[in-house]
Amino acid sequence: MKVKKYDNYSIIEDVKDFDIGQTLECGQCFHFNKIDDNEYAFVSFNNLFAVKQKNDEIMINTTDDKKINVLIDYLDLNTNYGHIKKELIKRDDLLREAIEANWGIHILNQEFSETLMSFIISQNKQIQHIRKIVKGLSERFGEFLGSINGVDYYSFPDIDQISNISVDDYKELKTGFRAPYLKDASDKLVYYKASANALSDDIYIVDKKIKENVFAGMNEEMAREELKKIKGVGDKVANCVNLFSLSYRGAFPVDVWIKRIMESMYFKREASKEEIEKFALDLYGEYGGYAQQYLFFFGRENNLGK
């Protein structure tokens, strides 16, 4: 991987096993818009990115090293997915089809507070509606970042902004019964930020500090249990935060889709959530999160088990 800078854009070259469309559309994040084939606008850590991919080249709308590094981290471009895919197929050849269909998925390294709030919102909701609510939350409480093709983009609110959001505000954003859950998560975020001693104005640095100073001392299970103290966070949401934000790539979130997919591919019968979690841990081990995402997107696109 190599970065070349031009007047007002840069190109990341030699990108392997990555597809921007598959990565953004596979259901792990909610804050993006498709502009054209292989071309997306999205918000990440207070940055508005426009990204266009052509084969193994990614063109981006900045020459700022800091932003480029945020993007490389966010898109997980330094991880060798060729190795991961080979390892998964070695463990289970049944995954081959799902992996080959979505060969370019990367697991994003998302901001902690956005991941937590987004997946609390996600319960009992369709992805399109989750995206609408995240957009509304950002427009109302985030910060204007710019516009692309006439569409305005706002940052996901930072923790200081989140601390000012009331239960009624959340209800106005059509979050329904999740409103008090989001309020509880807001309070916890303020607490995490304070205990991480994260004083910076830079949302990327604050996020890193929370991950390092609050969660890095925990293992995966401890982090999950800590997250489950938040109202509205159960195993599934906690696993999503672990996988998509806290770098626990072994986390295997079991939702209605994964349940259906695993039952149809492996069990050939109904199976409990716990049974599926144990099965996935035994089979995929520390690669569970990757397997989950290949399966999730593949299953959804092909309406597996429905």
Partner DNA sequence: CTCCAGGCCGTCC
Partner DNA sequence: GGACGGCATGGA
Positions touching DNA (CB under 7 A) are: 26-28, 122-130, 132, 171, 174, 176-177, 181, 228, 231-238, 240, 253, 255-258, 272, 274, 292-293, 296
Q: Report the interhelical angle of 112-122 vs 203-210 (nearest 10°).
A: 80
Smallest separation (angstroms) from DNA to the CB of 43: 18
Smallest separation (angstroms) from DNA to the CB of 182: 12
Nearer to DNA, 84 or 240 (CB): 240
Nearer to DNA, 91 or 129 (CB): 129
Strands (E), 126-218: 144-148, 151-154
What gap in Å lies between CA 302 and CA 306, rounded to an integer? Answer: 9
Nearer to DNA, 10 or 102 (CB): 102
Smallest separation (angstroms) from DNA to the CB of 11: 29
The length of the chain is 306
User: Measuring CA to CA, how many Å separate 265 from each of 88, 95, 133, 154, 273?
Assistant: 16, 10, 33, 40, 15
Smallest separation (angstroms) from DNA to the CB of 69: 25
Nearer to DNA, 12 or 262 (CB): 262
User: Measuring CA to CA, how many Å separate 227 from each of 120, 241, 292?
Assistant: 11, 8, 20
Nearer to DNA, 34 or 174 (CB): 174
What gap in Å lies between CA 18 and CA 243, rounded to an integer? Answer: 18
Q: Which of 117, 131, 133 is nearest to 233 (CA)?
A: 117
Q: What is the DSSP letter of 234?
A: -
Smallest separation (angstroms) from DNA to the CB of 284: 13
Q: How far is CA 268 from the centre of its chain?
A: 30
Strand, coil or helix: 3: strand
Q: Report the interhelical angle of 179-195 vs 112-122 (nearest 10°).
A: 160
Smallest separation (angstroms) from DNA to the CB of 197: 28
Q: How far is CA 192 from the centre of its chain?
A: 20
Smallest separation (angstroms) from DNA to the CB of 28: 4
Q: 3-state SS of the chain: helix, strand, coil percent to 5?
A: 55, 15, 35
Nearer to DNA, 113 or 293 (CB): 293
Smallest separation (angstroms) from DNA to the CB of 305: 10
Nearer to DNA, 91 or 171 (CB): 171
Q: Which helix (H) or strand (E) holds 13?
A: strand 10-13
Nearer to DNA, 91 or 231 (CB): 231
Strand, coil or helix: 97: helix
